[in-house]
A = this chain, B = another copy of it.
Amino acid sequence: MKVLITGGAGFLGTLLGRELLQRKQLLGRAISELVLADLTPPSADLVAREHVRALTGPLLDFCPEVETTGFEAVFHLAGAVSAECESDFELGMRSNLDTTRALLDALKVAGNRPRVVFASSVAVFGGDPGIPLPPVIRDNTLPTPQSSYGIQKFIGEQLVADYTRKGYIDGRSGRLMTVAIRPSPPNGAASGFFSSIVREPLNEMDVVCPVPPEMPVALASPANTVNSLISLAEAPQDALGGRTAINFPALTVTVAEILDALEAVAGKAARERVRFVESPEVTRIVGGWPAAFQSERAARLGLRPDRNMRSIIDRFVCEQDVMRVEA
């Protein structure tokens, strides 16, 4: 079983790679090769492992290799993030649309109908002025994306569905919720502050929160998200309830509730390091994403949201401590 992770040097790609290496198998078959494709080299601990190979450069350049390698499973996580796509339209179209299309075409040429997981996003949802979002998003809620990133992800879902229907791939799309807490520096996603308002105070740094405290968010921890990606890869097509993208599970919390949990873990001083300076642009983008979901298809696949915000922060603290000891 040869596995490809695009965006394999990114935060989620790295976690996914580690998890797959730990499990040693996918779909009941031993992983004989794990290829991490990204613009930058993958994490050193991954490259050091046997059976791990890096493809470093634009994904478009590796399509000929994708055509011939015979990957049996592909996690397509690569892409430009929301704020980048909003400020550089062409970059988003190239990174998210053209590259996804080229990857699917390469897998079609490969001809072995690989299992493909496409990482879509909660950002496909946005309130069209004339078609307001319902208070709770369900599996059949119409996405009306209000950002280029959301549009491009939604288009990617359509391509994956049609390449699957045609039998070129065995694809499925999962819409990632806002992933927090991320340990590394922000990656340009408009939602990055959901991580930094916890991470920076835990590290005794001041931080600005660009949205009001009452803003709710549909959140999933990194571990929960990686688990959803692998579960989605392993589900048989007929268990998915159709080829439409699946909304991944989410915990609904407000910024204030995140800070309550931060205070419970790290004290009042930590919370006081967060200063509110609203950014209308970030508030517009992130505020347009829905925060409450009823995701029956995900539940039928056994996917569950994180228990609560406190457990997410506790786990982050624990992992951060482990990393410090190892460093």
Contact = CB atoms under 8 A, between A and B. Distances in A.
A267 interface: no
Interface string A130-152: 11000000011111111010010
A129 B143 CA distance: 19
A128 B244 CA distance: 7
Interface size, A (range): 20 to 34
A139 B145 contact: no
Interface stretch (A154-162, A210-218, A221-229): A154-162
A89 interface: yes
A243 interface: yes
Copies of this protein in the complex: 2
A142 B145 contact: no
A285 to B, nearest CB: 12
A242 interface: yes
A189 interface: no
A144 B89 contact: no
A144 B89 CA distance: 26
Given A89-B166, A166-B89, A145 B131 contact: no
A151 B156 CA distance: 11
B144 A142 contact: no
A317 interface: no
Contacts of A242: 128-131, 144
Given A131-B139, A139-B131, A297-B130, A244 B162 contact: no
A165 interface: yes
Nearest to A161: B151
Contact of A158 (B131, B141, B155, B161): B155
Nearest to A150: B162
A50 to B, nearest CB: 39
Contacts of A186: none
A106 to B, nearest CB: 14
A165 B146 contact: yes
Interface in A160-195: 161-162, 165-166
A100 to B, nearest CB: 12
Chain B CB within 10 Å, residue with most, of A154, A158, A161: A158
Chain B CB within 10 Å, residue with most, of A140, A162, A165, A166: A162
B162 A131 contact: no
A240 interface: yes
A142 B244 contact: yes
A145 B158 CA distance: 8
Nearest to A124: B158
A58 interface: no
A140 B242 CA distance: 19
6 contacts: A130-B241, A142-B142, A144-B242, A145-B158, A146-B165, A148-B162
